[in-house]
Amino acid sequence: MSFDLVLFGGTGDLTWRKLMPALFQAFRHGKLPEHGRILAVARDERTHDQYRDFIRERFANVESAKRPTDEEFSQFARMLFYRRMDLAQPEHYAGLRRWIEQPSGEDGRASGPADTAVMFLATSPHLFPQICAQLGAVGLNGPRVRVVLEKPLGHDLASAQEINRVVRASFSEDQALRIDHYLGKPAVQNLMALRFGNALFEPIWRRESIANIQITIAESIGVGTRGDFYDRTGALRDMVQNHALQLLTMIAMEPPSTSDADAIRDEKLKVLKSLRPFTAESVARDVVRGQYKAGTVDGTPAPGYLDEAKVPAGSRTETFVALRTEVQNWRWAGVPFYLRTGKRLAARDAQIVVNFREVPHPIFPGANQPNKLVIKLQPEDGLELHLMAAKGAGSNESLTPVKLDLDFDKAFDTERVGAYEKLLLDAIAGRLNLFVRSDEQEQAWRWVEPILKGWADDPNGPRAYAAGSWGPPASSAMVARDGHVWDEEQ
Ligand code: BG6
């Protein structure tokens, strides 16, 4: 199979930090289809070789195991091309079309267009409408073409709908691939395997057996060099509207009838539509926002958010969100789902904890800890099933907590495929399962909007938390109201 992958924003952060390393890994693993060309487009003038040198230098920042040798890079670089484009100029899109449809030998393909052309928009989202409209205007929207859109997709429901409207004018739903890189993480795909590839859990995956579910995406890093972007965005838009809600849909969805993309996405959409809508009262009660102050992370002093580069003085942007919601259907009625994410927290740790109910009638002395299943997403990728066991030390013995611990990195002797590598290969192959459909994305915005409104009307800004902690104490208090605790406190 032959392909052309066009990276709009070809000199930007996302391209050299994530996409090129992922493409190189795919190449190294022999997964990238052989007859492929990767074309970076950006504003400035460069030759193909200058661009290859630029990428070669950037690979120095990649962790050593994932860095190409000179020999590997020169093979990979044969697929790399560069083209200057002013995204406002229609004739530049016409030139791009010629490059794709009438390649000359110098462009790495002797003749004829590739089987598929993927336009990856790794640009600022305000350019998406313009790029999509121009691609459509020059006919670069035929059935062989797909467009990949990176988040953030909109700032609120109206802006997301506007982007979708413009994208839809040129591309069908199946041609528009919205990336949520969490869906590409191996651990998230394993969640589907756990639930729908095993008969064991499904009968107990419901309100009768489950007391609460906790989804945590904690980061120990701060906003780094992205202060200006982050300050306009905040944790709710950056992490909750997309990554955390996607995880929630994977946990809560009904079994799809097939593994087809739309069968899965229909079920995810139903979950989003079943989430309890927020009101002004429930925002005040069930959502906690925080902002980090100076503290210590991993033994190193860390500045407060307001001291980070490019963050405006007095900013009220949240760097932490914890919230409580419910999925209003027969399977989940009354089961709290707690979501939590933040920057500069105590650890980099993403996990989903399914806390089961207590045994209905305890017969052993001492405390009987309820079972829990911990789905570890990162940094480890694994599963822990916490059980109670008898040591056999005597009669009338109290039970001891033990755990079954599965580390997928050890269980599989092959290197696990990274999120962007997986998603780029899926985009090239046209596999849509792990991309977000426009109705899912809009529904997620619809659900978070009352939170944005509640905060806008709230004279109190975010609550302070020390860098290196687990967020404001109000987050633990919210969970404690239901008689639960966040998993790291157990
Ligand atoms: C991105 C957010 O979508 O996800 C970042 O914009 C965040 O702020 C990142 O740091 C987290 O991704 P990962 O894969 O490192 O957990």
d(CA 226, CA 467): 17
Query: By the 8 A CB rule, do 240 and 448 touch?
Result: yes
d(CA 384, CA 94): 54
Closest residue CA from atom 14 of ligand 1: 182
Q: Output the 3-class SS for 162-187.
A: HHHHHHHHHCCHHHEEECCHHHHCHH
Query: By the 8 A CB rule, do 305 and 464 touch?
Result: no
Q: Tell me how far the alpha carbon of residue 239 lies from the centroid of ligand 1, in angstroms.
A: 7
The per-residue pLDDT for range 192-247, each reduced to its tens digit, is 999 999 999 999 999 999 999 999 999 999 998 889 999 999 999 999 999 999 99
Query: By the 8 A CB rule, do 174 and 203 touch?
Result: no
d(CA 267, CA 443): 13
**Topology (CATH) of 2-150:** Rossmann fold (3.40.50)
Closest residue CA from atom 6 of ligand 1: 238
Q: Tell me how far the alpha carbon of residue 218 lies from the centroid of ligand 1, in angstroms.
A: 10
Closest residue CA from atom 5 of ligand 1: 238
Residue to mutate (ligand 1; options 183, 185, 215, 219; most atoms within 8 A of CB) = 219
Q: pLDDT exceeding 70 applies to what percent of the chain?
A: 100
Specify burial of residue 155 (Cβ count, 10 A radius: 0-12, 13-18, 19+).
middle
Q: Where in the chain is the domain with CATH 3.30.360.10?
A: 183-417+439-489
Residue to mutate (ligand 1; options 181, 188, 292, 381; most atoms within 8 A of CB) = 181
Give me the pLDDT at residue 416, please.
80
Does the bond joining 152 to the residue before it have cis omega, within 30 degrees of 0?
yes
Single-letter amino acid code for the residue at 378:
Q
Threshold 0.85, pTM exceeds: yes
Q: Tell me how far the alpha carbon of residue 343 lies from the centroid of ligand 1, in angstroms.
A: 10
- Per the annotation, the verdict on 243 as an active-site residue is yes
**For the CA of 350, the nearest atom of ligand 1:** 16
Give me the pLDDT at residue 30, please.
93
Total residue count of the chain as it appears in this document = 490
Measuring from each residue's beta carbon to the nearest atom of ligand 1, which residues come in under 6 Å? 219, 238
Q: Tell me how far the alpha carbon of residue 138 lies from the centroid of ligand 1, in angstroms.
A: 34
Per-residue pLDDT of the chain (490 residues; tens, 9 = 90+): 899 999 999 999 899 999 999 999 999 999 999 889 999 999 999 999 999 999 999 998 888 889 999 999 999 999 999 999 999 999 999 999 999 998 887 778 877 889 999 999 999 888 999 999 999 999 999 999 999 999 888 899 999 999 999 999 999 999 999 999 999 999 999 999 999 999 999 999 999 999 999 999 999 999 988 899 999 999 999 999 999 999 999 999 999 999 999 999 999 999 999 999 999 999 999 999 999 999 999 899 999 999 999 999 999 999 999 999 999 999 999 999 999 999 999 999 999 999 999 999 999 998 889 999 999 999 999 999 999 999 887 778 899 999 999 999 889 877 788 999 999 999 999 999 999 999 999 999 999 999 999 999 999 999 999 999 999 999 999 999 999 999 985 5
Let me know if domain 183-417+439-489 sits in CATH 3.40.50.2000. Answer: no
Q: Return the structure tokens found at 382.
A: 């694994």
Q: Output the 3-class SS for the chain.
A: CEEEEEEECCCCHHHHHHHHHHHHHHHHCCCCCCEEEEEEEECCCCCHHHHHHHHHHHHHHCCHHHCCCHHHHHHHHCCEEEEECCCCCHHHHHHHHHHHHCCCHHHCCCCCCCCEEEEEECCCHHHHHHHHHHHHHCCCCCCCEEEEECCCCCCCHHHHHHHHHHHHHHCCHHHEEECCHHHHCHHHHHHHHHHHCCCCCHHHCCCCCEEEEEEEEECCCCCCCCHHHHHHHHHHHHHHHHHHHHHHHHHHCCCCCCCCHHHHHHHHHHHHHHECCCCHHHHHHHEEEEEEECEEECCEEECCHHHCCCCCCCCCCCCEEEEEECECCCCCCCCCEEEEEECCECCCEEEEEEEECCCCCCCCCCCCCCCEEEEEEECCCEEEEEEEECCCCCCCCCCEEEEEEEEHHHHCCCCCCCHHHHHHHHHHHCCCCCCECHHHHHHHHHHHHHHHHHHHCCCCCCEEEECCECCCHHHHHHHHCCCCCCHHHC
Q: Tell me how far the alpha carbon of residue 337 lies from the centroid of ligand 1, in angstroms.
A: 21
Single-letter amino acid code for the residue at 444:
A
Q: Return the structure tokens found at 333.
A: 């009625």
Q: Where in the chain is the domain with CATH 3.40.50.720?
A: 2-150
Single-letter amino acid code for the residue at 359:
V
**For the CA of 226, the nearest atom of ligand 1:** 8
Residue to mutate (ligand 1; options 233, 243, 246, 318; most atoms within 8 A of CB) = 243
Distance of CA 252 to the CA centre of its chain: 17
Q: Tell me how far the alpha carbon of residue 382 lies from the centroid of ligand 1, in angstroms.
A: 20
d(CA 48, CA 326): 53
Give me the pLDDT at residue 402, please.
96
Give me the pLDDT at residue 489, please.
54
Candidates 48, 181, 243, 484; catalytic one: 243
Q: What is the β-pairing status of strands 337-342 and 349-356? A: unpaired
Closest residue CA from atom 2 of ligand 1: 238
Closest residue CA from atom 9 of ligand 1: 239
